[in-house]
Amino acid sequence: MRTLLRLPAFLIAISVHECSHGYAAYKMGDPTAKYSGRLSLNPLAHFDLIGGLCLLFFSFGWAKPVPVNPYNFKDRKKGTIIVSLAGPFSNFVVAVISAFLCAFTLKYVGYSCLAPLSELNGVEFLFPIFQYCMLLNIGLMIFNLIPIPPLDGSKVLMEFLPYKAREVMYQLERYSMLVLILLIYTGALDGILMFLQEGVFEIIMLLLKPFF
């Protein structure tokens, strides 16, 4: 049941994230994503089979990266930074919308939405879907800003590093996925990620406070 609730949230998150990368690249002068059919919110355009299976079995997945050619950007440095940040920012926007829908559902459907999944009926199922969509998008935003290749945060960091440091990063990139997997599965990042997630959640609550 939980997996079925996670699936729509996952598909929304990856579609918005990758489409935002592609659209930002297009606006900065690179049509690669457009010609590849990736300027779309259709989940099928971005779905990765292995990433989807990982969602089912490990509660975390990923999408096919949108192809981007930074040499087409009008301003390569500015374009790289904007395109890299577009994905995480889009996840923040979706998280805010999802939080609003959570609060709206709770207010107008009632606290019965907070019951265990097995006891929910009809529109009450909307609350856990919106809730997971909010939490997933907050998590994806923060995770993608980690400055380890190939995550978005590393591409932003690269643009501010001196040439020699950038070369070292390029050399280490081949080991980056292994490092990232080790950090995730050893829980080494859990503390800082949880702290950041709570901070982002508080910001979202402040943004929504005038509405409820």
Task: Give the pLDDT score at 59.
Answer: 60
Mean pLDDT of all residues in 110-125: 82
| Confidence band for 105, pLDDT divided at 50, 70 and 90 | very high
One of 18, 119, 173, 198 is an active-site residue; which one? 18
Q: Specify the 3-state DSSP secondary structure of 162.
A: coil
Task: Give the pLDDT score at 199.
Answer: 97
Phi first, then psi: what are they for 63, rounded to 5°? -115, 170
Q: Kindly state the tokens that stand for 177.
A: 């996925």
Contacts of 92 (CB under 8 A, 6+ apart): 137, 138, 141, 200
- Whether 129 and 99 have beta carbons less than 8 Å apart is answered as no
Side-chain-side CA neighbours of residue 8 (13 Å): 14
- Residue 119 burial (CB count, 10 A): 9
Q: Specify the 3-state DSSP secondary structure of 42.
A: coil
Give the structural domain span for 135.
2-211
- Beta-strand ranges (E) seen in the chain are none
Angle at 91 between CA 178 and CA 44, to 5 degrees: 75
* pLDDT per residue as tens digits for the range 42-100: 998 998 888 777 766 666 667 889 999 999 999 999 999 999 999 999 999 999 999 99
Task: Give the pLDDT score at 1.
Answer: 64
User: Does residue 167 have an active-site annotation?
Assistant: no
Give the rounded percent of residues in the chain with a pLDDT score beyond 90. Answer: 56
Give how many domains the chain has, as a whole number. 1
Of the two residues 6 and 25, the one the predictor is more confident about is: 25
Task: Give the pLDDT score at 167.
Answer: 87
Contacts of 158 (CB under 8 A, 6+ apart): 80, 166, 169
Task: Give the pLDDT score at 176.
Answer: 83
Q: Specify the 3-state DSSP secondary structure of 164.
A: helix
Is residue 7 pLDDT above 90, yes or no? no
Is residue 200 pLDDT above 90, yes or no? yes
| Confidence band for 21, pLDDT divided at 50, 70 and 90 | very high
Rg for the chain, CA atoms, rounded: 18
Is residue 32 pLDDT above 90, yes or no? yes
pTM (2 decimals)? 0.91
Q: Kindly state the tokens that stand for 76.
A: 């390569």
- What does pLDDT average to over the chain? 89
Of the two residues 23 and 49, the one the predictor is more confident about is: 23
Task: Give the pLDDT score at 56.
Answer: 64
Q: Kindly state the tokens that stand for 48.
A: 């990765």
Is residue 137 pLDDT above 70, yes or no? yes
